[in-house]
Chains A and B, each alone.
Chain A
Amino acid sequence: MNIYKLQYDTKAVGDADLLAKGTYEVVTEEGVTQEVYRNGTQAIVFLNKIVEIPATYDKDGNELTPPVYYSGVFYDLMTTEEYDFGINEIFPVDCKHSFLGYEKNAEGTDVEPDELINE
């Protein structure tokens, strides 16, 4: 099983790349549109933004300082197939998300999320 950790500038860009690579397909049947996994895809998990520095709050839950996020949005892809995601593939050492039954950093190596982005 392959687990890819992916980072894109926006969700629209990420969705388009995953669609173009055939990891999923948009199916419309009887007026209902669904995104259906294809070609060995077991799961696509959209993680949205990931917090680098957490916000702070008072005792009532009011925000004192806002969170600081890593740039872009993140996905985890589990698949039986191999893909070349180029600069969108990242290798975090302290993954914020994992798949149930897998090691937390499965397939991760030693690069922080925002260090691989080519500006």
Chain B
Amino acid sequence: MSLLDDVSIVVTPNGYKAGELYAVIPVPSEGAEEVTNGDFATDSDWSKATGVTISGGNAIFNNSTANNNGIYQAAVFQANTQYKITAEVSNYSSGNVTAWSGGSQNINSNESFTGNGTKTWIISTGASNGYILLSSATTNGNFNIDNVSVKEYTSADMDVTRATAATRVDENGLVNYAEVVSDTELVTNGDFSNGTTDWTPNAAATLSIDTGRLKIAISGAGSGYAHQTFTIESGKQYKCTGTIDFGTASQMRFYVSNTGQFFDITQSGNFDFTFTSTGTSTQVRLYTYGDGNYGFWDNISVKEVTRDNVPRIDYTGGGCPHILAEPQRTNIVFPSDVAVTQTRTVTAVAYALSFYGTGSIVLSGTHSATLTGTGVNDRVDLIFTPTAGSLVLTVSGTVTNFQLEVGSYATSLIPTVSGTVTRNQDIFTRDGIGSLINSTEGVLFVEIAALSDDLTNRALSLSDGTTSNRILIYYSTASNQIIALYTYGGSTQVSIANILSDSTEFIKCAFKFKENDCALWINGIEVGTDTTATAFSADTLNSLALDDGGGSSKFFGKVKQLQVYDTSLSDTQLAALTS
């Protein structure tokens, strides 16, 4: 019998999208339909507020007011369960279409949508539940809703929250943003396979095709350009990429009219810029400089890019990647790309200074030290505690990816330009999965490493959403210590501790829990047991999170594997699993 027969959840560095890390197991599935008359075939089953009518197979919102004023049904949701809600919106002209859940109509709101089309919400219900409400989250809701569906949704995909961008080391060892780039290309004929079609020159530019590239020749002015205009959305980020060859041009720049930004391209080859839209359209211009000169452009692309909440698959150290979870940090030196000498005001706490390159940084003022680089692609760091006051950082030689942050260890690069910048903490949670966790017995298995032996609690948990009932594996406030904890009804039933040789090294760790039969296995060895434990009632545990079950003691570290088994495995199986 394979271990896979007993595993109910498997999370690895695998697929993801913004806000979600896909689990390998289970494959998402949907249950039976939970709403009645979701197609509004009759004016029945739904309670309606003022401004909403049911007619012609639709729920019609006509200048509905906000929040509670929609359509609802009771007794649809079960508590602590995950659901998929879909609804088709048509005739949309205004409002924010929102699905609500809770013990009464408008308790918990979810994502709001505008425009026509099928809208989908994946939600996890809380302890008090039943009602589904569809309404506008803002006044003047004017739209139709049809084909409402609510089905239980079984999946262990983890919600990822960070609300800022973040960087990671990719498979090539390069530092770049974790991002999801849209499949939709906004530039037409960016590869110039259709000649110069869709590109318009200004008066000083002459366009032609040269070996598949756009050649821009300048005459009668210091610069000229080809341009193209297209629709974008305000507030969203866009990634501009392409390839240039300077030819005889003295300078080449990519211009975005939406933001008025010129992006300087310093050498022939690929370029890569992003901008945040402030309007609903933009013109891009391929500026080429030098009267009588020419330059080449190719593979021009502009696509929407999302960086907030994108989970990070990190390859630091080479080999198999891991999921990277880090605390909130602020880079207080700038610019980060190429360091310059500067002074920063510091307090008397631990700081981490880090950079790449062969240069050096001399610290003076409130702390004296020198950090010397070891290579263009090598990161060096220095942990130090200055006295409060002004710290002078004197840079010499090549120093890139420059970072100074409060903390006892260096974290991933936080790019800066002209001020300090904060990356938020990573949060991973998945609630509403009681059907995937056997509360009475099982195994929580992880392959993890700490970012540092920083003497804080960093936990991974199965729980009921509180700290009262939980299965926990955590690095503790003792040096290199890992603990398996079993809390039942608010009291600790089991606490098995083990001292690791180095908590920053990956370990395979399994916590077997069962009535009067608990054990902690690390790297193939049973390191502790406890034969006094009261089993949870069925369906007690319903959440998986990188925290202590109550939102505290978040796991900041590296995760290669996270698995939940629905039976307590044998010693032979546990030895094999953790070896």
Contacts and interface: CB of A to CB of B under 8 A. Distances in A.
A32 B345 contact: no
Contacts of A104: 417-419
A15 interface: no
Contacts of B364: 60-61
B551 interface: yes
A34 B420 contact: no
A86 interface: no
B307 interface: yes
Given A43-B425, A48-B347, A96 B420 contact: yes
B345 A49 contact: yes
B548 A76 contact: no
A36 B390 contact: no
B477 A97 contact: no
A100 B414 contact: yes
Contact of B345 (A36, A48, A101): A48
A98 B419 contact: yes
Interface stretch (B163-171, B184-192, B445-453): B163-171
Contacts, number: 94
Size category, A interface? 20 to 34
Contact of B422 (A36, A60, A76): A76
B553 A45 contact: no
Given A55-B390, A61-B394, A98-B419, A43 B345 contact: no
Nearest to A27: B552
Interface string B399-442: 00000000000000011011111111100000000000000000
A61 B392 contact: yes
Interface string B315-351: 0000000000000101000000000000101010000
A103 interface: yes
Contact of A97 (B161, B163, B420, B548): B420
Interface in A93-114: 95-104
Max chain A C-beta neighbours (<10 A), residue from B307, B418, B424 = B424
Contacts of B394: 61
A54 B165 contact: no
Contacts of A29: 467, 548, 550, 552-553
B419 A36 contact: no
A97 B343 CA distance: 16
26 contacts: A27-B550, A29-B467, A29-B553, A32-B553, A36-B552, A42-B163, A43-B163, A43-B328, A43-B422, A43-B425, A49-B345, A51-B345, A57-B343, A57-B365, A60-B364, A61-B364, A61-B394, A63-B390, A96-B419, A99-B164, A100-B414, A100-B424, A101-B165, A101-B307, A103-B276, A104-B419
